[in-house]
Amino acid sequence: MTNPDTAGMARTLDDRYELVRRLGEGAMGIVYLARDLVLSIHVAVKVLRAEYSGMPEVVRMFEQEASLSARMLSPHVVRVLARTTTQAGLPCIVYEYLEGESVATRIERAPKLGLDEVCAIVLQTARALSRAHALGVVHRDVKPDNLFLVAQADSRAVLKMIDFGVAEELGRGAEGSGLVGTIAYLAPEALFGPGLPDERTDLYALGVVAYECLTGACPYPPECYDDLFGHMSASTRRSVRETRPELPAEIDAWMDRALHPDPSFRFGSARELAEELEAVLRTSTSAPRPRATRVSALRPRAPELACAA
């Protein structure tokens, strides 16, 4: 019987990866659960959508996703295991298969996370960004959906960054590529400024993620987007402590710097951003200092895929 999740696809890719079912899809690709017949493990196979096969720029971005992800070599970035093609010639990326939940799902389950858990999420994301930035790579789409919490046997979770589909190497991006990323997490210079984003745009996005984890909402709600620049410039963002008065006062000072509209006033590196948040945590009397990779136990309704399509 034909599996509707894999209809139109050969059952086995490259005589090695046996497709099991579709896991997810997005604008650029479709992701399948597959079994590696050589290693006897599950993997995630991301396949370029057929309608984009004749669009060189999209194919370039898809192939660049594989090459940039493979270079990260970080425990906090999803691993690329191989590249292959379908019988129809569509490029594929084979990723490690991760079980757990995204930070987005974690926020849905618990809209206001503890400062210790948020600190752990930020710390691990910062490690992934530190590696990327050291290699001259800007992720450009840091958001809860692209941060995945992988369940561990000891009830901890290890965070892995996924989806380098719109990442660019510094100095090599296309000026005319238009707005790239997810608007709620884009820094002002990425929305309104000339030129290309740099490492500080990723750090701004991580600040937005921290704010959302703590408050359950982004700093600037969707109804502000028509005049987002005005809202950012006028500092209309609600302070974290309006929603979470039990947190230390230093958290708002950290947010002011992380989300400053002028990139020159933000943290200078992912490491500095994370270390300063750890310092805020140490001032809190409501939470213990977290271990480096501590995130609360995962209890998702069902495992999610760790490779955005």
For this structure, is 141 an active site residue?
yes
Distances (CA, A) of 66 to 48, 72, 93, 100, 148: 12, 10, 6, 22, 18
C-alpha–C-alpha distance, residues 95 and 44, integer Å: 5
What 3-state class would DSSP assign to 202? helix
C-alpha–C-alpha distance, residues 295 and 151, integer Å: 10
Q: What is the pLDDT of residues 154-169, one digit of tens each?
A: 768 899 999 998 898 8
Distance of CA 68 to the CA centre of its chain: 14
C-alpha–C-alpha distance, residues 188 and 208, integer Å: 12
C-alpha–C-alpha distance, residues 220 and 188, integer Å: 12
The larger pLDDT score, comparing residue 90 to residue 223, is at 90
The residue ranges of every structural domain in the chain are: 4-96, 100-283
> Average pLDDT of 142-150?
96
C-alpha–C-alpha distance, residues 165 and 94, integer Å: 14
Third-level CATH fold of 4-96: Phosphorylase Kinase; domain 1 (3.30.200)
pLDDT at 131 (0 to 100):
97
pLDDT at 301 (0 to 100):
38
Residue from 116, 141, 202, 252 carrying the catalytic annotation: 141
The larger pLDDT score, comparing residue 290 to residue 35, is at 35
Residue reference for tokens 């310092």: 279
> Average pLDDT of 184-191?
86
In this structure, the strands spanning 137-138 and 91-96 are unpaired
Structure tokens at 8: 């139109």
The band of 196, judged by pLDDT with boundaries at 50, 70 and 90, is low
Structure tokens at 78: 């999803």
Least Cα distance to 90 among 180, 9, 187, 191 occurs for: 9
C-alpha–C-alpha distance, residues 266 and 272, integer Å: 10
pLDDT at 300 (0 to 100):
38
Q: What is the pLDDT of residues 175-187, one digit of tens each?
A: 445 567 788 898 8
pTM of the model: 0.86
Is a pLDDT exceeding 50 seen at residue 291?
A: no
211-221: b (≥16 Cβ within 10 Å) or e: bbbbbeebbbe
In this structure, the strands spanning 80-85 and 137-138 are unpaired
Per CATH, 4-96 and 100-283 having the same topology is answered no
Least Cα distance to 94 among 166, 158, 39, 142 occurs for: 39
pLDDT at 74 (0 to 100):
95
Beta bridge partners of 35: 18, 42
Q: What is the pLDDT of residues 224-276, one digit of tens each?
A: 555 555 555 556 788 999 999 999 999 999 999 999 988 999 999 999 999 99
The answer to whether residues 119 and 290 touch, using CB atoms and an 8 Å cutoff, is yes
C-alpha–C-alpha distance, residues 77 and 146, integer Å: 10
Q: Which CATH number among 3.30.565.10, 1.20.140.10, 1.10.443.10, 1.10.510.10 corresponds to the domain 100-283?
A: 1.10.510.10
DSSP strands (E only) in the chain: 12-13, 17-25, 29-36, 41-48, 80-85, 91-96, 100-102, 137-138, 147-151, 157-161, 168-169
